[in-house]
Chain A
Amino acid sequence: MKPNTKFLQGNEACVEGALYAGLRFFAGYPITPSTEIAETLSARLPQIGGKFIQMEDEIASMCAIIGASLTGHKVMTATSGPGFSLKQEALGYAVMAEIPCVVVNVQRGGPSTGNPTHVAQGDVMQARWGTHGDHAIVTLTASNHQDVFAMTVEAFNIAETYRTPVILLFDEVVGHMREKLVIPAPGEIPLVERLRTSVPGGVDYHPYLPREDGRLPMSDFGGVHRYNVTGLFHDMWGFPSDNPGVVHGLMRHLVDKIENNAGQLARYKEFELQDADTVLISYGSAARSALHVVRNRRARGEKLGLLELQTLWPFPAALVRDHCARARSVVVVEMNTGQIMREVKAAVKNPENVFLANRIDGTLITPTDIRNILRLIQGRGV
């Protein structure tokens, strides 16, 4: 194998992507099935002068990366269901204070301790609405190791561009499965570095005053600008305010900077959609089985296509609507009780044509499962 070609776990592919993107600080806590990310980074980060810390709990891990991000570093934490629940309050802090960071959730079965060593995709809505209060969030996912790598790099780029936390919502199958990864040469994937203010020291710097393009240049903690960061609604200095105008303005800014860019943030893959009368929509490891069905049925002349979503939030509603416009039926393939299906139904013109092909027993949905559901929809029986 060439030196840049690896055979590894999805969790390790995520680590490779994070290091490629410039990760320098990771705080974590052991939890199945994401632990390999912490283990690998505990070895890799100090080799490049970065920092790894195992914190006392999931909450502390989330808090520590936010603190480290403020000093100017690219940061990440990784967890799974129960840990993701614990991180929610601090995740909301990163939303409110606009702190770039990447949070990996390698999904397992839930609720509660659930099914720790088995696959599920039940945290899609938690990624969207897990922290309290109105807010927008970016969530990316992937179905294979090359895409895990690419989406991890994207996550860091988006976090820096929009000053926002980005969630990487992988799953146990992708996290633990081993397959090939070709690591791109440096520079092959463009990286977004932190936008720092050009305001010189001694001149009033407004950490929360957006530029004309909506971006907010940052100043590293410990640098020449001293300012306040808070989880309270705040003015352009970062000082707490409950002035209705300030509260409304900040809420609009936080939501609009993500939702208004839903089109730009949409990452997806199309397979055989050009003339498809049946469109499968899937993501994560479920999309592997969906793609298998598409290839298999195409060979038999069935007009089947797949839209693989890599951006789950903001939900690419316009993209889904366009791609489903000519379809007789739309089948959402996911391993939960229909979390993305509901979004698809809300997006398309004819929601009555949207069906769910799912599996919720901790095992990967198979091509046979999907094929059987397709036959039922077509009225042909299994």
Chain B
Amino acid sequence: MAVKDFIRERFFPHIWCPGCGHGIVLNSLLRAVESLGMSKNEIVMVSGIGCSSRISGYLDFHTLHTIHGRALAFATGVKLSRPELNLIVPMGDGDALAIGGNHFIHAARRNIDLTAIVMNNRIYGMTGGQFSPLSGCGVMATTAPFATVDQSFDVAELARAAGATFVARSTTYHVQQLTKLLREAILHEGFSVVEVLTQCPTYFGRRNKMGGAVEMMKWFKDNTTPVGSKAKTENPALIERGIFVQTERPEYCKAYDQVIERAQKGKK
């Protein structure tokens, strides 16, 4: 099946700004899905609210565009009731880790088989450029006219600590790697997290004088390094890309099957 067959052409053009990285994530995700040869009927995409969350409407899967921050909770209901389906949950950084932070850590703790994609542009784009929990210190935003003093999360460390069994990171510059990581994440049985650094030239780039989309993607190229590289030891400020966690632990829906087994044994 060609990549374009995964698109709902009827609903284009999309709402994203020129230069936005979200289209690259969409492209990369579809190439990953295509390479897996999955049927469109097996895939359920659940998203929340924000620029990134609009990704679901454009794709010809079963798509559930929910409320702000709660995509993983909706997805948990879909997955547990129909474990044979493949759940992909694209979220923004504010969506996943501010308002949705509790659901994020608990989905990781349960190790339920969902693929969470955190499209991290370090800003609330849909509402016009407020700082997010991933903006970090010293960032200009419409709600931080004197620069932020808030510290940010490391998504990968948070996901690891909460119990996610697959954790990876890439950027919109490193599309080949991103496609490979998304493929691995979808294949992984358990809660998987892929953080994608993606550019918002309209609100983050402009206000923080980072240039346009090209300059911001170049920033990703220059400021990231593969996991465990020598460059990281020489320059700790570099952001690592690649797989951080890839382990096995009982998956929640499978574990619940044992509950059913025990309950029915007790009854008969």
Point out residues on A near B: beta carbons under 8 Å: 24-25, 27, 43, 46-47, 49, 51, 53, 55-57, 59-61, 63-71, 73, 75, 89-90, 93, 221-224, 226-232, 237, 239-240
Contact = CB atoms under 8 A, between A and B. Distances in A.
B259 interface: yes
B82 A63 contact: no
Interface string B67-89: 10010011111111110110000
Contacts of A226: 40-41, 60-63
Interface in B218-268: 256, 259-260, 262-264, 266-267
A222 B85 contact: yes
A56 B102 contact: yes
B180 interface: no
Contacts of A55: 73, 76, 106
B48 to A, nearest CB: 10
A63 B66 contact: yes
A132 to B, nearest CB: 11
A71 B103 contact: no
Contact of B81 (A43, A73, A232, A240): A73
Given A25-B81, A67-B75, A221-B44, 7 more contacts: A46-B262, A53-B76, A55-B76, A57-B102, A63-B70, A221-B82, A222-B82
Contact of B65 (A27, A56, A232): A232
B154 interface: no
B63 A229 contact: yes
A231 B66 CA distance: 6
Interface residues of B, number: 42
Nearest to A59: B70
B70 A222 contact: no
Contact of A227 (B62, B82, B102, B259): B62
Given A27-B77, A46-B259, A73-B81, A223 B65 contact: no
B7 to A, nearest CB: 12
B56 interface: yes
B163 interface: no
A47 B264 contact: yes
A25 B82 CA distance: 11
Interface string B42-68: 101010000000001100111111110
Given A57-B102, A239-B11, A66 B77 contact: yes
Nearest to B40: A226
Contacts of B78: 67-68, 70-71, 221
Contacts of A75: 77
Contacts of A60: 70, 73, 76, 102-103, 106
Nearest to A219: B62
Contacts of A70: 64, 78
B44 A89 contact: no
24 contacts: A27-B76, A27-B77, A43-B263, A46-B259, A46-B262, A53-B80, A60-B70, A60-B102, A60-B106, A61-B73, A65-B77, A66-B77, A67-B64, A67-B81, A71-B82, A221-B44, A221-B64, A223-B41, A224-B41, A226-B63, A228-B57, A228-B63, A231-B67, A240-B57
